[in-house]
Amino acid sequence: MNPSSILWTVIELSATLFEILLILTLLSHWFGRRFANPLYYAGVAAAMTGIVYLLNILAAPALMTVGIVFALSLLVSLTVYNGKLRQSLLLLLIYNILWGGSEFGVLIGLSQVLGSPENFALPTMQRLVGLVSTKLVLFILIRLLIRFRQRNVSRLSWPYYLALLAFPGASVFTIISLDLMWQKRQQSINVQPFAAAAVIALLFANLLVYYLFDRLQLESEERARLQLFERQIELEKKSLNRAERQHTELRRLAHDLNKIITPISVYARQGNIEQIEESLATIRHSIAENAASIHSGNAFLDALLAERMALALQQNTNIRTQIALDPGELPIPAEDFCVMLGNALDNAIEACARLPESKVRQIHLMIRQEKGMLQLMVKNPLPEPLIILGEEYLSSKRNHNRRGIGIDSMRRIVKRYRGSIDIDTNADQFTLTMILPI
């Protein structure tokens, strides 16, 4: 076996191993590993690579090879991963569609630049360019699919994807340029190994760039989670302080009740109904102040509502709540729920603060989880008519030349969950309703 044959054997094995690793990575992210020992999965990757390479040596029909790989992947998903039959079939079908699309789409595109598609089946530079290009495209598609799976924790913007696509695009352009240069210097047999080495180096450079981008993204997500945890800790501290104040207030109330009960007995013997009613009103007011806390079944929501209710009370605004949530975790990530509810209540509190003192300052909040839907409604009085430009509601504050940032933030979150947002301004009332499928 000559050096050229050995080189192509290594290249073909590497390409096959790369595809197998992509399949296993997809299964791992989607279903999770069944065993902790990584040697199991290394053995699975090696065995599948060997079987596929053997099929290629035996010149098995392409359809037969694809079917065997599909069956092996399904078996692996059900044995060493936590995959279910129906989910595994669907996921592997999606993978094969992406694989076939990347293979045929990229090769057809490259054939317009590098010549006939038949050249990509021969051990030539065109074949190497095709292998690297198709694997890079498949890698990008699989990463996007994994990101879609992680959409609840990953908020990637379009500049991120442009940055990821720019480097592979430049690499493919460089590969094509190397191939064209090699074709013009066919008399120099020493050019091909250097060109092949350059192509392989570019492939590893691309993988390194993706790894670095992923690490940066993970660090960004971790920072966001830490900020959320810090926010939750701050809210929990406020909740604990509020509970301590309520406990102190209850002790004071019990002490005061002992003092009030005695005069009430005297007033009763004297038949002084007016004084009795005044004393009872004092008791009712004290009880109402201490019963104002929220107990929704979720500590984060309770703390958030308690903070906003305390802010509203400082401005003589009352918040009436109607909450029907399943106990435990919130139906959507806490950071999204906090942005939606926090902005909605902040806008309502600010609107009530601009009302004249003679007006009733009251906010109605309704949160309901029912039949796979989350509904959040906030209703508050309007201090002045809203400024409407097209379908946008402008801020009615002093900087009213800009759109309300809070509403824009809520729109983006609702759109991300494919929900709906409705704003009604009838009868001097502002009603904001958000409905999200969960």
CATH of 295-438, one of 3.40.50.1860, 3.20.190.10, 3.30.565.10, 3.40.50.800: 3.30.565.10
Give the residue with greater pLDDT, 15 vs 3: 15
- Per-residue pLDDT tens over the stretch 6-38: 777 887 888 888 888 888 888 888 888 888 788
- Per-residue pLDDT tens over the stretch 90-114: 888 888 888 887 777 777 766 666 6
Instruction: Say what the pLDDT of residue 246 is.
Output: 63
In three-state secondary structure terms, 368 is strand
- Per-residue pLDDT tens over the stretch 303-325: 778 778 888 888 888 888 888 88
What does the alpha-carbon distance between residue 379 and residue 319 come to, in Å, rounded to a whole number? 10
Q: How confident is the model at residue 372 (pLDDT cuts 50, 70, 90)?
A: confident
Q: How confident is the model at residue 133 (pLDDT cuts 50, 70, 90)?
A: confident
Share of the chain above pLDDT 90, in %: 6
**Model confidence at 377: pLDDT above 90:** yes
Q: How confident is the model at residue 117 (pLDDT cuts 50, 70, 90)?
A: low
- Per-residue pLDDT tens over the stretch 329-341: 777 877 788 888 8
Instruction: Say what the pLDDT of residue 379 is.
Output: 93
Q: How confident is the model at residue 398 (pLDDT cuts 50, 70, 90)?
A: very low
Give me the residue label for tokens 């906010």: 363
What does the alpha-carbon distance between residue 382 and residue 354 come to, in Å, rounded to a whole number? 9
**Model confidence at 189: pLDDT above 50:** no
What does the alpha-carbon distance between residue 281 and residue 327 come to, in Å, rounded to a whole number? 35
Lowest mean pLDDT among 38-42, 251-255, 339-343, 429-433: 251-255
The token pair at 239 is 């909740």
- The CB-based long-range contact list for 147-156 (8 Å cut-off, 24+ gap) reads 149/29, 149/30, 150/29, 151/416, 152/332, 152/333, 153/221, 153/333, 154/217, 154/221, 156/217
Among residues 320, 430, 344, 423, which one has the least CA distance to residue 380?
430
Among residues 271, 261, 331, which one has the least CA distance to residue 296?
331
CA 306: distance to chain centroid?
27
**Model confidence at 390: pLDDT above 60:** no
Q: Tell me the average pLDDT across 115-136.
A: 70
Angle between the N-to-C axes of helices 405-416 and 334-353, in degrees from 0 to 180, rounded to the nearest 10: 150
Q: Tell me the average pLDDT across 131-160.
A: 67
Is there a contact between 366 and 376 (Cβ–Cβ < 8 Å)?
yes
Is there a contact between 174 and 133 (Cβ–Cβ < 8 Å)?
no
Lowest mean pLDDT among 289-303, 370-384, 395-409: 395-409
Which residues, other chains included, contact 222 with Cβ-Cβ below 8 Å and sequence gap of 6+?
none
Q: How confident is the model at residue 434 (pLDDT cuts 50, 70, 90)?
A: very high
**Model confidence at 326: pLDDT above 80:** no
Instruction: Say what the pLDDT of residue 433 is.
Output: 92
Among residues 376, 382, 388, 326, which one has the least CA distance to residue 350?
382
- Mean pLDDT, the chain, whole residue set: 75
- Per-residue pLDDT tens over the stretch 30-76: 888 888 788 888 889 899 988 988 888 887 887 888 889 899 999 99
The token pair at 261 is 């009960």
**Model confidence at 167: pLDDT above 80:** no
Domain range list for the chain = 3-229, 295-438
Instruction: Say what the pLDDT of residue 28 is.
Output: 86
Cα Rg, the chain, nearest whole Å: 33
